[in-house]
Chains A and B, each alone.
Chain A
Amino acid sequence: MEITRIPLGAWIEGGLNWLTSEYSVVTRAISRVTQTGIEVLNDGLMWLPEWALMALIAVLCWRASSYRLAIGAVAGLALIWNLGLWNPMIETLTLVVIATLVAIIIAIPVGIGAALSERLYRGVMPILDFMQTMPAFVYLIPAIPFFGIGSVSAIFATVIFSMPPAIRFTALGIRQVPVELIEAADAYGSTRGQKLFKVQLPLSLPTVMAGVNQTIMLALSMVVIAAMIGADGLGSEVWRAIQRLRPGDGFEAGIAVVILAMLLDRLTQSLRRTRAK
């Protein structure tokens, strides 16, 4: 007896096609806005001379953390500059910044909602599990019909891939606020908004920032992978090295990614610590 194969793939494709044609106005608008955002930020960062941007980042590191981080940042960026990977690095940074911003703008309200509403929490959590365990490459495929080959698709896939930790940590942070502090806020007659902005959010900020840190790290890894659908940056350097079988070039670009990752990680972690007190 033959059991009919469930045409799951066909259904999904049908659904995606329907979305693409029905909402092309929306996707095109998103595409245009995102593209503009990418270009403006990219051009801005490119317009700055290398040394100026390095100095800026060094000062930021020094203010937020320590002179040691500043020295490390300058050394790492100088190496990238020296290897001739400055422009790809800037392109990657642009994609990470924009994808992270979009992810956070979506994730924090959703996280707050999930923390405050048990029903939303139960609805959102399985979706997050799905988003995180689905192999990252798969997001690249529907991105193309929505937004075409290029950076906007990369952003789309990256946002989806990197958003879950920010949602989870935001919800977790708010749920961890001690009950008695919530009682204190209530006892003095706080509205929901007052309670959220004066008590819950400030107290969950360290946890929320840990989520943001995770989101940035995931965004960076995805932006590199997104080179496969035509995203510019360090990822495309790696991709080219693979195609030409040039391990040296590949590692150079890979090291640049590592430097950028460490820099972003240390910087956001130190922001988290300074905010915590």
Chain B
Amino acid sequence: MDETRNVKIQVSGLSKVFGKNPKKGLELRNQGLKRPEIFDKTGLTLGLSNINFDVYEGELLVIMGLSGSGKSTLIRCLNRLIDTTEGEIIIDGENIPALSEKALLECRRRHFSMVFQNFALFPHRTVQQNAEFGLEIRGVDKAERKKIAQDSLTQVGLDGWEDAYPDQLSGGMQQRVGLARALANDASVLLMDEAFSALDPLIRKDMQQELIELQARTKKTTVFITHDLDEALSIGDRIVLLKDGEIVQIGTPEEILTKPADDYVRRFIEGVDMSRILTAENAMRKVRSTARVGDGPRTALRKMRDHTMDSIYVTDNDRKLKGLLEVDAASQAIEDGAEGIANYLTQDFRRVTPDEPLQNLFAMFSDKSFPIAVVDEDQRLLGVVVKGAVLGELARAGDQ
């Protein structure tokens, strides 16, 4: 991963044993016993075992696993709704398991907002009062918290519902209130515990999309729990895959799909719609040759011949994409006796960013046969995607 990113939360050696005398469970674990054996011997449940991962500042990290994998336990260990048995959770230099009661309250107020699977809205409070809850707990004065809560309700599209009670809202709207309550709090980390699992599939897709946009806009460090791989792949910057209380793999969605760590992960990713997950970056090839804006037509033509291309992308000295020169246009320039090729370029081609889903590229190929240019925000040419590569990439991912 990107080594330059700041680590927001560092989890190391984290284990959790449920039951009396949890140390006994850890001893057996250290002797190499697995969860079912420990349970048979002692009645203790090894909820989490030696969990290590980092959450980077500003990322959306998905913790994904089936029921019983320990994901709910893990997210609750982060803000210590559940006490850990051993290990460290460091956030901004504070080790959460070691905090005093008082310091823990302070830490929760400053660092954590939480969104719950079944919304966990307070039924005796209005939408507005629910959104204000975290601020009220922190002792923010009335006028200010009203304003902040109002802003966050607007952000989630609940203008005009301030005075309604939660039971008057649909499930999707209730979870928006849950989200508004978390946003209003403005803690440094957003914890989402199966936040969209109780929603209808369509509403769920909308909420996922909104979360992605919100997260891109606010750069809020987010830890999102889900049992749904599709959800994990479509919203996560990185995914932590849990199984039976242990981490199986940590990686970006692409890494999980293209380099599954073991058979378990491989079985998991079967049936995922690859075209939606893979992006232009996966199918992108290096450009075999480019022409410079300052090149003469003959130079450009020779580059095309050398690489048996019938068109060539033209960049400036900063590798910024200026246009496309077709072989006919190059011949024309030579006939005209032109010094440069700048006036013979066409803009009639497609350019996309690396994160464009592969799915969208199919449609672009139908009208022109030029390779699609992949550029970054500064219009620098990163590579090209040719039609065969898209299909090839899909087939390859599908096979694995």
**A186 lies within 8 A of chain B by Cβ:** yes
Q: A116 to B213: give the CA distance in the assembly, Å.
A: 42
Partner of B81, one of A178, A183, A203: A183
Summed over the interface, the residue pairs from A and B with CB atoms below 8 Å come to a total of 58
State whether B137 touches A183 (Cβ < 8 A). no
Overall SS of chain A's interface: helix
Interface stretch of the complex, out of B58-66, B107-115, B313-321: B107-115
Contact of B105 among A181, A191, A202 (CB under 8 A): A191
Q: Which of A188, A191, A203 contacts B134 (CB 8 A)?
A: A188
List, in ascending order, chain A residues with CB within 8 A of B136's CB. 198
Asked if A187 is at the interface of the complex by the 8 Å CB criterion, the answer is yes
Tell whether A15 is near chain B: CB-to-CB under 8 Å. Answer: no
Interface residues of chain B: helix, strand, loop or mixed (majority): mixed
Are B114 and A188 touching (Cβ within 8 A)? Answer: yes
Contact, CB under 8 Å: B137 / A194: yes
Q: How far is the CA of A178 from the CA of B105 in the complex (A)?
A: 21
Q: Tell me whether A180 is interfacial, beta carbon within 8 Å.
A: yes
The reply to whether the CB of B267 lies closer than 8 angstroms to some CB of chain A is no
Interface membership of A184, Cβ < 8 A: yes
A163 to B119 Cα, complex, angstroms: 37
A179 nearest CB neighbor, chain B only:
B120
Interface residues on B, range: 20 to 34
Q: Is A187 a contact partner of B108 (Cβ separation < 8 A)?
A: yes
Q: Which of A181, A187, A191 contacts B122 (CB 8 A)?
A: A181
Contact A180–B118 (Cβ < 8 Å): yes
Q: Taking A188-B133, A188-B137 as contacts, is the C-beta distance between A183 and B116 under 8 angstroms? A: yes
Per-residue CB proximity of A156-194 to B under 8 Å, as 1/0?
Answer: 000000000000000000000010110111111111001
Give A contacts to B, CB under 8 Å: 178, 180-181, 183-191, 194, 198-199, 202-203
Which residues from chain B sit less than 8 Å from chain A, CB to CB? 76, 79, 81, 105-109, 112-114, 116-118, 120-124, 133-134, 136-138, 185, 191
Minimum-distance CB pairs A-B, first 3: A189-B109, A189-B108, A187-B114
A198-B133, A202-B124 known; 17 new pairs, CB 8 Å cut-off, are: A178-B120, A180-B117, A181-B120, A181-B122, A183-B116, A183-B120, A184-B114, A184-B121, A184-B122, A187-B81, A189-B112, A189-B137, A189-B138, A190-B105, A203-B122, A203-B123, A203-B124
